[in-house]
Amino acid sequence: MNDMTPIKTTLKDWETDQEVRWCPGCGDYAILKAVQRVLPEIGADPAKTVFVSGIGCSSRFPYYVESYGFHTIHGRAPAFATGLKLANPELDVWLVTGDGDGMSIGGNHTMHVLRRNLNTQILLFNNEIYGLTKGQYSPTSRIGTVSPTTPLGSVDRPASPCAFALGSGGRFIARAYDVSKELPNVLKAAHAHQGAAFVEIFQNCIVYNKDVFADFTEKASANIGQLWLADGAPMLFNKGTQGLALDAETLALKVVDVVDGDWQAAGVRVHDVKNRAMAHLLVEMPFGPFPMALGVIYDDPRPTFEAAVVDERTRASAGKTANLAALLSKGQTWTVDADPA
């Protein structure tokens, strides 16, 4: 995000006159509402807000937000956003992508936008499937996913978006899911972060990959399946009866039971959003033996790419005038005189 004067808007101000064309019941609706709720709360200015997307169901997002919007080509949204931010660093740019767009065809650009630390919010809707092309498995699909291109089940191992983002040099890594009450708070934290803020949002594709996240999003499994991280708070889940501790021998996380709320006695760690080593452990934590780590996993800002570019441009131009005629006649030149005869 950028420092800018807060503008007073309501959720309605951020709705366009376009009919939303996602499948009824799609998780994208909930994400759209969460974003439209957050934008007034953070005082965003529609004229200075730009949603940039690639291709896929998620990438239709810009058409439904009453701001500037650019629906680009498959996987390349980060590159368009980079040019846009360098041209006008004042803009507040949100990138909307999916697991196919951002992790497969556009994986390279996702890596570089994070490495460079462009000041933008990257929302990766992960539904573990290709929706718009009718249900093929994606780079985040679990082994054994049956799809039109994998009728006997997929055999390749899935990528982990948050681990990829952190490995690419990301300085803000967070996770949430479409219908979570916490999603707006995670989005606000991403917006508050100066630099590339990567948010993986688990999204339910009710047509091609229904309930694939139900193991931790369903009410019955939420307590045991979700661990919401908060900076400075112990990493507890299952109503405070379990927590994460560090096994000093293996340098791995382990689940420990907490008796009578005494998490300290159980060795439960306190979450520190600036602890990069812990962030690596959290994003690699396998679901099943462990709960799903949600919320802000890592948040440790560094100078942004566009600020560095602007700064370099300013320093390189200092004391110089943009005189093209002088530039052209610089260096070794010679003069041909008019013939005296």
Partner 1 sequence: MATVLANGPEALTGGNDEAAAPEAVVVRFAGDSGDGMQLTGGQFTLSTALAGNDLATFPDFPAEIRAPQGTLFGVSAFQINFGSTEIDTAGDAPDVLVAMNPAALKTNVQALKAGGLIIADTGEFNKRNLEKAKYDVSPFEDGSLEKWQVLAFDISALTLEAVKPFGLGNKEALRCKNMWTLGLALWMFDRDRQPLIDWLKGKFAKAPVLADANIAALNAGHAYGETAELAGPLKQYHLAPAESEPGLYRTVTGAEAISYGLVAGAQLAGLDLFFGGYPITPASAILHNLARLKEFGVTTFQAEDEIAAIASAIGASYGGHLGVTSSSGPGIALKGEAMGLAIMTELPLVIVNSQRGGPSTGLPTKTEQSDLYQAVYGRNGDAPMPVVAARSPSDAFECAIEACRIAVQYMTPVMLLTDGYIANAAEPWKVPDPNSFEPFPVAFLEEPNGPDGAVLPYARDAKGARPWIRPGTPGLMHRIGGIEKNPGTGNIDYSPASHQTMTDARRAKVDGVANSIPLQEVTLGEEGGKLAVVGWGSTYGPIHQAVRRARRQGLDVSQIHVRHIWPLPSNLGELLKGYSHVLVPEMNTGQFKTVLRDQFLVDAKPLNKTSGQPFTIAEIEAAIAAALA
Q: To the nearest 10°, the Cα dihedral for 244, 160, 33, 215?
A: -60
5 binds partner 1 (CB under 8 A): no
Q: Could you tell me which of 78, 76, 75, 98 has the C-alpha nearest to residue 28? A: 98
- Smallest gap from residue 317 Cβ to partner 1 (A): 4
- Smallest gap from residue 224 Cβ to partner 1 (A): 41
DSSP three-state, residue 294: strand
**Pair 140, 131: CB distance under 8 Å:** no
62 binds partner 1 (CB under 8 A): yes
- CA–CA distance from 99 to each of 113, 132, 284 (Å)? 16, 12, 17
Which residue stretch of 136-144, 250-258, 292-300, 321-329 sits at the interface with partner 1 (rule: CB under 8 A)?
Answer: 321-329
* Smaller CB separation from partner 1, 18 or 149: 18
Residues in the chain: 341
- Smallest gap from residue 192 Cβ to partner 1 (A): 21
48 binds partner 1 (CB under 8 A): yes
Span 75-104, contacts to partner 1 by CB under 8 A: 76, 78-88, 90-91
* Smaller CB separation from partner 1, 125 or 213: 125
Taking CB under 8 A as the criterion, the residue among 10, 149, 264, 317 binding partner 1 is 317
Taking CB under 8 A as the criterion, the residue among 23, 63, 150, 168 binding partner 1 is 63
* Smaller CB separation from partner 1, 116 or 171: 116
* Smaller CB separation from partner 1, 106 or 195: 106
- Smallest gap from residue 62 Cβ to partner 1 (A): 5
Alpha-carbon distance of 60 to 171, in angstroms, equals: 27
- Smallest gap from residue 4 Cβ to partner 1 (A): 11
* Smaller CB separation from partner 1, 72 or 226: 72
The DSSP-derived string for 95-116 is EEEEHHIIIIITHHHHHHHHHH
Tell how far CA 280 is from the center of its chain. 16
- Smallest gap from residue 130 Cβ to partner 1 (A): 18
Site string for partner 1, 107-126 (x = CB under 8 A): -xx-xx--------------
Alpha-carbon distance of 16 to 71, in angstroms, equals: 15
Buried b (16+ CB within 10 A) or exposed e, 317-336: eeeeeeeeeeeeeeeeeeee
Q: Could you tell me which of 220, 180, 230, 221 has the C-alpha nearest to residue 200? A: 180
52 binds partner 1 (CB under 8 A): yes
Taking CB under 8 A as the criterion, the residue among 220, 251, 325, 341 binding partner 1 is 325
- Smallest gap from residue 1 Cβ to partner 1 (A): 15
**Pair 287, 280: CB distance under 8 Å:** no
Span 8-47, contacts to partner 1 by CB under 8 A: 16, 18, 46-47
- Smallest gap from residue 8 Cβ to partner 1 (A): 14
142 binds partner 1 (CB under 8 A): no
Strands 49-53 and 236-237 come out as unpaired
Which residue shows structure tokens 């803000």?
Answer: 172
Dihedral of alpha carbons 192, 194, 200, 203, sign: positive
Tokens of 122: 């990257």
Name, in order, each residue with C-beta under 8 angstroms of 223's C-beta and a sequence gap of 6 or more.
237, 238, 239
Name, in order, each residue with C-beta under 8 angstroms of 89's C-beta and a sequence gap of 6 or more.
2, 119, 306, 307, 310
- Smallest gap from residue 298 Cβ to partner 1 (A): 23
179 binds partner 1 (CB under 8 A): no
* Positions that interact with partner 1 (CB under 8 A): 16, 18, 46-48, 50, 52, 62-63, 66-74, 76, 78-88, 90-91, 108-109, 111-112, 309, 312-313, 316-317, 320-322, 324-325, 327-329, 331-339
